[in-house]
Amino acid sequence: MAVPYTFGSATTSIPLSQLDSNFATAITLGNTAVQLGNTITTLTGVTNVASSGSLTLGTSGNTTAITVDTSQNVGIGTASPTSKLTVSSGATGTAASFSGSGTFSEISFKAGASTTAYIGVNNSDFLVETGGAESLRLNTNGALILKGGSASASGVGIAFPATQSTTSNANTLDDYEVGTFTPTLIDAGNNQPTSYTVQRGNYTKVGNAVTIEIYLNVTTLGGSITGAVAIGGLPFAAKNVSDLYAPFPVVYWGTMNTSFVWLGGFVNSTATKIGLYKATAAVTNVSAMQASDWKNASDMIIGGTYLT
Amino acid sequence: MSTFTETKTVDQITVTENGIVLYREATRIFKDDVEVSKTFHRTSLTPGQDLTGVPDQVVAICNTAWTQEVIAAYQAQQQQNQLGA
């Protein structure tokens, strides 16, 4: 049996019995060295080359760069690939680099008929895209931005959407927001004092829990506010649950028109106000605080947490 | 030299099932058109409340949402929710 080969336009053959002796060392075609060992059985479009072993490609010094094993797993930087593509940088360094010339560079993933997901970069931000839309971004400031959050969020932290995406899952944190509001002293008809010295309200909302701090200082009470009073203007409406009252202790009161042994309040279902209650002595039932318990220059500090 | 600008907008308006209108004002500071700061101020308005000083777009929603029936139902609900009532 003979192996045909072609040099230029001449075709000849070498007896198989002489293959080792003729091809045991590399032959040179132009400036390209080619070595044919005795494990090669077919060389037709580089198919079935490794019928009995792995295919390896290397560089000078016989260093293996790419390995295709008998399971058709491809290894780059490793001779033992464990998946269709295994890339190793060795002890140090970058294992793989992906880049593009535009503002986006991505790698796509797809399982069956599912929507393709991507990871990649937008300029210097790292992105994750699922369901056909961006779902997560880590920007250069170090902010982790959830879907709908501001891409330019500053500071290191988690940026939630500006508008809450409410979850029904009890183990999912779906909102964070801080801000201010303007508390008011109101009666049942929403009448207020004539003027205030201070109306300070801060809130922090984490999930469905709103924590508020209030300092209210009345300058002039005036005559329009009468009867039972409350602190209105809360930043969110309370959760709609009957017979649920969020407690609000009054930790300070001053210059009141009445002497108290206790003051406090609560927020009830769906409300945006704190109903105020009082005790002027040891009693079995507290009673609603009245506008007449206040006067010019009265002030109060109250705070607590309620659910939305 | 960098240019700083400040904007204040009502960026969220919510009407609850009992007619309370909640709105949020966002104050944003931009440095060379890039947002560098954002703060929120929230306000709640109960049905029938005086709307002096309230932004026009919020007033329009209040006037639509606060029918006489809504105002009456809200006031009745507040009476019902009073402890000891």
Residue A83: pLDDT band by 50, 70, 90 thresholds? Answer: very high
B36 and A269 in contact by Cβ < 8 A? no
Q: Considering CB atoms only, which of A182, A203, A268 is closest to B81?
A: A268
pLDDT over threshold 60, residue A18: no
User: SS3 for B60?
Assistant: helix
Confidence of residue A252 (pLDDT cuts 50, 70, 90): very high
b/e burial code for range A273-305 (CB count within 10 A of at least 16 → b): bbbbbbbeeeeeebebbbbebbeeebbbbbbbe
Please answer yes or no on whether A203 and B42 come within 8 Å at the CB atom: yes
Return the structure tokens found at A277: 């209650």
Is B27 touching A (CB cutoff 8 A)?
no
Residue A48 has pLDDT above 50, yes or no: no
The burial class, CB within 10 Å (0-12 / 13-18 / 19+), for A159 is buried
What does DSSP say about strands A246-254 and A274-279: parallel, antiparallel, or unpaired? unpaired
Taking a C-beta distance cutoff of 8 angstroms, is the pair A144, A156 a contact?
no
Query: CB A150 to CB B42 under 8 A?
Result: no
Contact present, A53 and A70 (Cβ < 8 Å)? yes
Higher pLDDT, B68 or B84: B68
The tens digit of pLDDT for each residue in A181-195 reads 999 999 998 999 999
Q: Which of A88, A87, A307 is nearest to A209 (CA)?
A: A307
Partner B, chain A 123-182, Cβ-Cβ below 8 Å:
150, 152, 154, 162-163, 177-182
**Segment A225-248, tens digit of pLDDT:** 999 999 999 999 999 988 889 999
Q: So what's the pLDDT on residue B37?
A: 85
A270 touching chain B per CB within 8 A: yes
Closest residue in chain B to residue A234, using alpha carbons only: B44
Name the minimum distance, in Å, from the CA of A249 to any CA of chain B: 16
Query: What pLDDT score does A159 carry?
Result: 94
Query: CB B44 to CB A163 under 8 A?
Result: no
What percent of chain A clears pLDDT 90, i.e. is strictly above it? Answer: 67
| Res A17: pLDDT | 55
* Span A116-151, pLDDT tens digits: 999 999 999 999 999 999 999 999 999 999 999 988
